[in-house]
Amino acid sequence: MTDDPASITDIEDAADADDDLPTLLTRMLRQVNGVHTVYATKPIVPTLVTAVVEFVKNEPVGVHLVSVRDGDEGVEIEACIGVTGDEPAPDVCRRAHAALTDFFVQNGQPEPAAISVNIGRVG
Amino acid sequence: MSDSTSAPRHEPGVSPLEPQNLQGHTIEELSDYLDRGREPRDASIETSPGAQHALAALSRLRTIAPRILEAEAKAKPPENESWIRRILDQIGVQASAGRDIPIRADVPTATLSISEGAVRALVREVGDDLEGMFVERCRLQGDVEIAGSPVTVTVEISVFRGTDPATVIEELRSGVVDALALHTELNVADVTVTVRHPDVPETEENE
């Protein structure tokens, strides 16, 4: 393995899946105990308009909820989640962060340079 | 039958939520304003009697709707959540996000937080669970974006007629302190509860 930070493409290849990385991470976050929703980190209305335009143009439609960027130091992840009120929200937030980190490790990639997890709703 | 007393209950214009009674505002605008905890203050809404009536009606609806949905859910088998509802949920969370309140992280590359909107919603839900009142407005005062900074939670409520304000104030304050201690890492210095409307009729002929 080189010292170069992993790129988004590297990780998508490593995950060996048809879906792109934001979609994979969204699906994974929905499986984390205590997470009931993954919200969009970018304004959803323009994103929906784009999706509708893509649909009308018969091009691939994708509304990404988790943001993934290639930064100077490596991949940067940003997620916004809704959590159940059954347990302390900070605990679920840390669990979601750990799950995101584990995703990369399990796919043989370096940990992301930055992971941001925001709770948008409790309960 | 005289004109002054013969208006049928469902005649257009009777409800404070009818467009012609909103004095230039829209239900969406007022609903968003309520979601934001009536912040920043909008003078055109606060000084409009029509908008004030509509806000009060929306607040009551917010209080009652979860109980109706719960009763309906018990009576009917669960159905797939509609995609429109999910989209509205997404938009609502973004519209009311506010400031990011930090959550302690063990690794330097992690930035964990809970949105101010989520915290205000927590406060509102504590009020929804109490009988005899509803939360009109909630504000977090202080540098919530700085971990450990003292924060004052200000809650304005309306109390239904026949309810002892002192009792619900204490129940609300206690519930808010517990909820924020459980779900946030805020340093809550004080919870101030103010009764905005002390004598709200529990059932109004607004339908």
Cα distances (angstroms) measured from residue B121 to each of A112, A122, B70, B111, B180: 31, 8, 18, 22, 11
A50: amino acid identity, one letter:
T
Does B113 contact A122 at a Cβ distance shorter than 8 Å? no
pLDDT of residue B92: 67
> Quick one: which of A38, A79, A43 has its CA closest to B111?
A79
Do the beta carbons of residue A80 and residue A38 sit within 8 Å? Answer: yes
Half-sphere exposure (Cβ direction) of B85: Cα atoms closer than 13 Å: 5
Predicted confidence (pLDDT) at residue B103 exceeds the cutoff of 80: yes
A3: number of Cβ within 10 Å: 5
pLDDT of residue B64: 64
User: Does any CB of chain A come closer than 8 Å to the CB of residue B110?
Assistant: yes
Distance of alpha carbon B166 from alpha carbon B177, whole angstroms: 17
- Segment B92-97 shows an average pLDDT of 69
* 3-class secondary-structure state, position B168: helix
What ipTM is given for this predicted complex? 0.82
Gap from A36 CA to chain B (nearest CA, Å): 12
Q: Domain ranges in chain A?
A: 8-122
The rounded Cα B72 to chain-centroid distance in angstroms is 22
Reported CATH class of domain A8-122: alpha beta
- How does strand B187-200 pair with strand A35-39? unpaired
Number of alpha helices (DSSP H) and beta strands (DSSP E) in chain B: 6, 5
pLDDT attached to residue B82: 66
Sorting pLDDT into bands at 50, 70 and 90, what band is B53?
A: confident
Q: Which pLDDT band holds residue B57 (cuts at 50, 70, 90)?
A: confident
Q: What percent of chain B has pLDDT over 90?
A: 36
The rounded distance, in Å, linking the Cα atoms of B8 and B32 is 31
> Which residue in B has a C-alpha nearest to residue A97's C-alpha?
B110
Q: Out of B28-32, B60-64, B121-125, B194-198, pick the least confident.
A: B60-64
Which range has the worst mean pLDDT, A59-63, A67-71, B4-8, B95-99? B4-8
pLDDT higher than threshold 50 for residue B8? no
Give the residue from B114, B129, B135 showing the smallest Cα distance to B182.
B114
Positions of chain A with pLDDT lower than 50, given as ranges: 1-2
- Is B162 a residue whose pLDDT tops 70? yes
Orientation angle between helical segments A21-30 and A8-15, nearest 10 degrees: 60
% of residues, chain A, pLDDT over 70 = 67
Has residue B206 got a pLDDT over 50? Answer: no
Looking at residue B2, what is its pLDDT? 37
Averaged pLDDT, B8-13: 38
Burial of A10 (0-12, 13-18, 19+ CB in 10 A): middle
Neighboring chain B residues of A48 at a CB cutoff of 8 Å: 87
Q: Output the pLDDT for position B37.
A: 77
pLDDT of residue B153: 96
pLDDT for position B81: 58
Helix (H, G, I), strand (E, B) or coil at A81: strand
User: How confident is the model over B17-49, as pLDDT tens digits?
Assistant: 667 777 788 877 887 788 777 877 888 888 787
What is the helix (H) or strand (E) element at residue B44, kind and residue range?
A: helix B43-46
Q: Taking CB atoms and an 8 Å cutoff, what residues of chain B touch A119?
A: 103, 113-115, 118
